[in-house]
A and B are shown apart, each in its own frame.
Chain A
């Protein structure tokens, strides 16, 4: 049966029509290409009027194939497939040709652009003749969700899902949830206490019937596909039996071993070998750190065991593995603070009174190592002057080229806290002040009024080498005050470095484990930077908070909520359609060589021992085509990308290439020409 093809050429305003003569292209298609019964050009094919045009033509002109030459299929393939479907045509009989991304945006020469548009259109029309009707597979969505990371973003996502009535597994690497926010003292710009607004949410998580919290645990492996993931969780041995522990804390009190706490107290304070990171920790159960514990080191002590009233200490405990079935995953794994020793001219690690922003947060926190007193490294002296250095490791090609987004506001907050608690003079050294969100500019205004000093200039160096009278015994901050064009040396007692927010050191491995991608910097990549910021290119996998990029608490909370809303949508529909563009194996031709089995990046191919052939799990297959290309027997076919379809497309590209011996489709060299 001869197919009746409709061709639709989109102007995309002037995006395409400004470069490609769309009217002549439509006329050429109608006059030249096989089976084209009508060819139209239209201002915006993606508008509802444009879509209706296609629908009417299918019904009235009896079209059996549709080709839309417009933007990239990434943007509107779904739109036009749906239009076809509305008119009763199988959506996979529609094909998109990218005239915008592949022609008008990348080709300035109008003649060359027209020739290239012809070739791509010819390819699309030849290919669409061979399209087959395909039907998506429907699979159920497991209502359980795995949330990875118990910082504020993960907490928000978990609570919203749980409150909506859906089960959540929240996995946290540290002994307690809370994340970086739990380390903070106050939050900008309202200055409410971080713990006061965070700990209620933490206890909600701890007590929620729909949340299964697994702290001190990590995700080892994830398999499966949207709606049906399996995850293996490793619960690290706590050496404390959670069922028996009442969280009374006697073990911590009796433990004789005190060590520097590098994680929660960022090296500024101490903890015991058996510890809870902070008093409001959720869950309340402590952890025995095997590395630090005297018993594990020398085989004696067991003080905690002797004093535990419920006999909850268990030195024989081992790591435990738990397998979970979930429908969706939300990653909220957070950030690491920049290693400030990498900028030696600021003296961190060498000059005692240079602190990082996180150290300062802990110092300011009433539950921290100094009980909230702002003091120098000697632990007693109150500083009379403090310098705040912005952009430490941010906006710097040598470290991180991006702006870390929160440091300006943190600096303002620190300035307020220092002045309030000590009355010290505070000077901020900034490149550009970026208080971007609601009520942030007003906070900047407030700090100016409170008497904080601002010097526009990136600090050159911090030194203890006195040069002028008044500098002895001080840290001298040297910078150009760019607003007056003069070098200044400002002696202070304390320097606080606003270190950059960086991707987690293991972000790349995490991305690999969950099958998503990272940007060059190492942040997890969203599906679309503006329109789909919490989804990823992997269906059923969502991201929230700072693992996606630097952001503050309000934005992290918003993303946590957004990711949860996306998951709730999936669960409430209950099923998900799996694209039918998958590979399949023709059993008769399969030799059982198993080459494809290990090549599949999605582990979608199984080997059937009894039949001695391989088979593809359509639900796991993403249609990437790796196995199709690799099969030595050509036993694997990719639906929608079979040999005949691709050959036809190539022939179309080469429509005006010199022909000879009937082998024109094999002659690939001229294909390079029409494009230029």
Chain B
């Protein structure tokens, strides 16, 4: 808890910097407008103007927050939480693709990790490729997957989920292999003296001791899934989802809309990773593994 004060200090420094940057980046437009209207702006007028433009180069924090509130809370209060102008709707579209992809990707990743730990052939042939794939910008395949699946008639949720799935797949494989191998030789030997089979060793030793690694890779996988879903919404001219909000915002110069979509994505990521963190804490506590 003693780090709350420093964190607050850092966050408020960032907000201050942001307000300052908003003044300097938007002042040119404000000056031009003033010149056209033949008025001289005093400094306080200039600052007020740069913080309240309609299409600023950099919107001030309160503009982003009020736009966020307008497109989420206010719409929900009016009972229109799922109208097309609401970020809850767009967030839900992105979230559903993220979750589907996350479940597929981590599920397949865990299965492959189990296979790799138990079969030498799989270990030696697949593992180097799984590690190498971490250095490859696989996100580049995203537009191709969308278009190819579109051409064979698959649209909407599934292509985005596939992108999310393969982005979360490899980190989970690598993390889980490490986790399932984490029992020490002593522990494995002990189970052998109990004449425990492969099955019993897996359920009673390997799987429980891989839990910390599992949660770490789940967090990475979740963040990667969200990025995948957002990028998956970019190339098709999609009209729904947080990525689409950013894209249409950048087409029409609606900077406040881009920033609010970006913040919605950030909040979504933070909440999702936070939920996994909570599950992690309570699980590890009940298993007696937390420090």
| A and B associate | no
Q: Give the interface of A toward B (CB within 8 A).
A: none
